[in-house]
Chain A
Amino acid sequence: MDKNKKLSEELLKADSIDPANIPDSEHKMFEQLLDKHLNSGKSKQVIWRIIMKSNISKLAAAAVIIISVFMGINFLGGSSVALADVAKKLEQVTNGVFKKTTTTYSLKNNNKDEFDSLTYYADGVMLENMYRDNKLIYQVYVTFLKGVLVNIDHQKKEYGKIELNNEDIQEFSQLSPGNIVNLLLSKGEYKRIGRKAVDGILSDGFEFNDKRIMLSFDKNNIEDVTIHLWVDVKTVLPVRFEISGIVQNTLKANVIMYEPQWNVELEDDFFEPKIPEDYILPEERGYVGINLQNWPDIKVSPGMPAGKAGIKDGDIILKINDNIITESTTYSDAMDMLWGKIGEKDIIIVQRGEQTLTFEVEKAPLPK
């Protein structure tokens, strides 16, 4: 034996540690820890939802999309083996990430809105990153056990924090595969919808129609629910989840979750909300009261600071604080220049006919 290894072993023995045999008590401790760790996946299969408290778009303003059991659905079916296999597989999952596309259609005018997201989940936490035109526009962080949801609107540079009510927290905390099975059994039926290739993977499909598998307070606002779950025949893991429903009788919503990845590497603080320092709460935001919708033409909102300071409809804005307005200045640029907190003052220089006028405008809250 290598003399260094021999020394190592003798040092252990000098400390009454057998280098070749670990005491039963330590083995037992380890096994218990390992059991606890490997079984902790059961609590990770959660029903989660996105609560969009800000208008991500006109159409999606009232949408509350309920996403049910993608990660841990346990349905009883013709084959109990399938259920057990899915549950067993998912017990080893510590986290997952999947793509999602959310499409809403207004029932009034059929206007369509769509955005893509990447959703991450792990033990009691979730993060959804929403994109439009490949740009991150919105984030939702949820910590189920603490009952806290943080949303970050990157377009408005605003953030919010919502505390889930006790009923929601209680529901989340009861979500284990076994309870979900009972929930499905007691409240709804399902049917098999065949076998086909889904995203290139041979899968068995299941359909659920009972909206009562949704979370409590949203049930009343959702009708005509159809859920399709596709399970990889080979791996017995979900590959695709589709849900559609009518929300508040005004909006048809389709959500598709697909291309899941399991047990991905994530940083320790991945699920901690990262709010940029200059972002503000919605109630902190101040406005000057200039309508920029027809930029570069402006319209002054009555009763707001810009109008009170003397700026008028049709004025041509030349400069906002240190920012000179040019032909290439866009509506978004101008919005950014005027973004800020209640009480902040802007210096706005305008051209009115032959005159160049300077105004100091203090931001105010929106009138109620």
Chain B
Amino acid sequence: MESEKQIENIVIRCKSGQREAFEELFEHYQPRLKYYVRRLNSNSETDDILQDIWMKVFRKIRKLKDNNSFGVWLYRIARNEVFGRFRKNEKFIELPDEQELTEHSDDNHEFSAEDAKHLHNALNKIQPYHREVLTLFFIEQMTYQQIAEVIGCSIGTVRSRIFYAKQSLRKEMESNNG
């Protein structure tokens, strides 16, 4: 997997119009992007959405000011693309107002690769706004700051949302056990 510095270099090359650089970005992000889009959008539009996301990346990448933040930027585009379709189809789900945690939450995720299958199944059953933050957290190993930038909220909100999301996930996983 490419390091952050490598991604930065690839982005710079994309900005200069190098075809190969775009292909490298695609190779790097497409599988996880696809996973993310599927988590937000349960119907069969995933391929269409991914196409639109990449087209927007092509058109707008030169405007990206911070080459280091390509991942966050990409997922913002993805999110906007999915929610844009939701709004058009009147499927948009209002996010709840969550109170920020006053205590520091447990940042260490307790899930291992062995849990992946159960985790994946449980992920599909929890609330969409919880599913989203956990997907970014697990799939891209985004920091709270990065997740906050993707979904457009405060770090505190992300922290609390992840806390409650993990609770919800754990509960779902436990309910699936015999």
Which chain B positions have C-beta within 8 A of A4?
A: 109, 138, 141
How near does chain A come to B139, taking the closest CB pair, in angstroms? 5
Closest beta carbon of chain A to B4's beta carbon, Å: 13
Q: Check if A37 sits within 8 Å of B138, measured CB to CB.
A: no
Residue A337 lies at the interface, judged by CB distance under 8 Å to chain B: no
* B17 in contact with A8 (CB, 8 Å): no
Q: Which residues of B contact A22 (CB under 8 A)?
A: 26-27, 30-31
- The verdict on A12 contacting B22 (CB below 8 Å), with A34-B58, A263-B62, A265-B62 known, is no
* B32-40, B145-153, B161-169: which lies at the interface: B32-40
Cβ of A15 and Cβ of B38 under 8 Å apart? yes
- Of residues 11 through 42 on chain B, the ones whose CB sits less than 8 Å from some CB of chain A are 15, 17, 19, 22-23, 26-27, 30-32, 34-35, 38
Interface string of A1-44 (1 = CB under 8 A from B): 00111111111111101110010001001100110011000000
Q: Which residues of B contact A267 (CB under 8 A)?
A: 63
B113 in the interface (beta carbon within 8 A):
yes
Q: Which residues of B lie under 8 Å from residue A281 when comparing CB positions?
A: none
Minimum distance in angstroms from A265 CB to a CB of chain B: 5
Nearest residue (CB) in A for B59 is: A37
Cβ-defined partner of A8 (8 Å) among B26, B50, B114, B139: B139
Instruction: Give the residue among A4, A22, A263 with the most B Cβ atoms within 10 A.
Output: A4
Q: Say whether B54 faces chain A, with CB atoms less than 8 Å apart.
A: yes
How many interface residues does B have (CB within 8 Å)? 40
Contact B63 A265 (CB under 8 A): yes
Q: Does A176 make an interface contact (CB < 8 A)? A: no
Contacts of A94 in B (CB 8 A): 59, 62
| Other-chain contact of A7, B19, B26, B112, B121 (Cβ < 8 Å) | B112
Name the prevailing secondary structure of the B interface residues: helix
Contacts of B93 in A (CB 8 A): none
In the bound assembly, the distance between CA atoms of A4 and B107 in angstroms comes to: 13
Q: Is there contact, CB below 8 Å, between A8 and B55?
A: no
Task: Pick the residue among B1, B54, B55, B62 that contacts A5 (CB under 8 A).
Answer: B1
Contact of B17 among A5, A7, A92 (CB under 8 A): A92
Q: Is B174 an interface residue (CB 8 A)?
A: no
Least CB distance from B40 to A in Å reads 13
Report if B45 contacts A (CB, 8 A).
Answer: no
Q: Is the beta-carbon distance between A11 and B55 smaller than 8 angstroms?
A: no
**Which chain B residue shows the least CB distance to A21?**
B31
Contact call B113/A29, Cβ cutoff below 8 A: no
Interface centre among A19, A30, A268 (most CB of B within 10 A): A30
CA–CA, A225 to B152, complex, Å?
Answer: 56
- B125 contacts chain A at the CB level, 8 A cutoff: no
**B63 and A266 form a contact (CB under 8 A):** yes
- Contact among B23, B59, B109, B138 with A30 in the assembled complex (CB-CB below 8 Å): B23
B31 and A18 contacting across the interface, CB-CB below 8 Å: yes
Chain B residues in the interface with A (C-beta under 8 A): 1, 15, 17, 19, 22-23, 26-27, 30-32, 34-35, 38, 47, 50-51, 54-55, 58-60, 62-63, 109, 111-117, 119-121, 123, 138-141
Interface residues of A (CB under 8 A from B): 3-15, 17-19, 22, 26, 29-30, 33-34, 37-38, 92, 94, 263-268
Going nearest first, the 8 A-B pairs with the smallest beta carbon separation are A10-B116, A14-B120, A37-B58, A6-B113, A92-B17, A10-B113, A14-B117, A7-B113
